[in-house]
A and B are shown apart, each in its own frame.
Chain A
Amino acid sequence: MIRERLEDILRERARLQTGDPQMEAAEAAPPAAAAPPAAEDPGAALRTEGLAVYYGHFQALRDVSLQVPGNRVTAIIGASGCGKSTLLRCFNRMNDAIPGFRLQGAVLFKGQDIYERGVDVVDVRRRIGMVFQKPNPFPKSIYENVAFGPRINGYEGRLDEIVERALRHAALWEEVKGKLRQGALTLSGGQQQRLCIARALAVEPEVILMDEPCSALDPVATLKIEDLMRELAKEYTIVIVTHNMQQAARVSDWTAVMMMAEDRAGEMVEFADTRSIFTNPRDKRTEDYITGRFG
């Protein structure tokens, strides 16, 4: 029976290999790295085109063109001050309130420019949620933290169900189901961060932006959040900014590497599948950064 199974494997692989002259030629070559998404990838959830951001006279970002694949985890890495967070905040217009903020180019969410006149910013932020560096639950009960978003968004239907579903998705339900009315601030840091993720999920977003979501957490809580990110990527598009290169390597499918140019404007030097970035980056600056020889 084992022999039959092995023969099946041989047959199946032989079938896959025929009609693949490139593989025949390079008998033992490792599979080619996945190409970055094509010019206009329909599967991209978010896309920037020639994005430039200014704070007054200071240029924070220059010419960032990036496609964030849907239902994947995309990490943005780079040394401090390279514009990672600025870029992330452009994805749901969190920079709008910063004095002197000005943007050129476009940020498209499913083909729609979210900076276009007439776009409902509240709706953008509902569909593209955000989790911050420090867990910031409201000083209310666990339940009220999660129910808050659906409530102000005028959700009809059963709030209890929404709260439970969001907490389950955030892998927190089992830990808090018996104490939903307890204050959120009594939870541990890691639990608070998962509560913030649940709060973001409760309004049924499509994208979740995470800005250094683990930097205030211990290693175990960090790994829990990372596991959760992998799980969430099955249903949501996730973009994470992290200083922790190893975290980007562990958790993401795609990685964007950013760097500060001489005039201190942030630029994207490379965007590729995470495996390629960490095993065989194309750009010398990426190589220097990830091997610790720069930055």
Chain B
Amino acid sequence: MFAYTIRRLSMLVPVLLGMTLIVFSLIHAIPGSPAQILLGQQASPEAVAALTKEMGLDRPLYIQFVDYLKNLITGDLGESFRTRSPISEEIWPYLAATIELALFAMIIAVIVGVNAGIISAWFQNSWFDYLLMVLALVGVSMPIFWLGLMEQYVFSIKLDLLPTTGRDNIRDPVTAITHLYLLDTLLQGRVDQFFEVIRHLILPGVALATIPMAIIARITRSSMLEVMRSDYIRTARAKGMSMLKVVYKHSLRNAFIPILTIIGLQTGLLLGGAILTETIFGWPGIGNYIYSAIQFRDYPVIQSGILVVAAIFVCINLIVDLLYAAIDPRIKYR
């Protein structure tokens, strides 16, 4: 297990390096001068040239890249053109907001999706199975912005059950420590605020969970169906094990590899910042952060934002790979 972990970790280096290069080149391919944007349309060409020089954007690209890499290694993501503050400090609150939302959504998606898939497989071809699979199809095809708006309309405006936007109550804001509000409120012993944060998480969480939930349910169903037909399931039944135990112990673990793959990919996607959901629910997440950076041609922020998201994606895949090995003893030996 240890050797496998090391092997997988060492594979991260070239991936991250390549990723940095791609992000760097893409960003510089976007037309428009950042200095011009910062100074406005009326700025004199001399002022623009001076600012360009000051920001180091007149140097050859490869030098800019090497510089960027050097800084990256020391944990310096550069400075935002717009706010003039270090990105490594600025990005975390946004990232934390996204992580909290994405994990909340994924937990809903996994719990509901996996169980729906199991029940569907267990009662294959029953009306219940058909109903769940139709719902899953609807879930996959639902435009997320529409679902978000409908949720707000029904649960906030009509029923007045849940807040429409934001992460916390504006009149009683959470004092940030880690910027993961669920954690912060607990650290401060503010249970009332904790539930307030949960209330804020529900609508965007459900909107974000819908698609992964539906995909997970469908994958779980097909994977379970395959496993349930296998010989070792018959063996477990022949031992006198109850169906419930057979399903959740013997079948689910065997069926879990493809499910885990999907969970990993979907978590990565959600962490990448669901711009639509974040916009609709006024969620101050990484998607919003990058989106506004793009509008201002804030190169360092765009670059670092994308890099961080990509790095998270890679890390999640690493975790998934390690979990494979934890689930299936045969994987270590390959």
Do they bind each other?
A: no
Interface positions of B (Cβ within 8 A of A): none
Q: Spell out A's residues near B (CB within 8 Å).
A: none
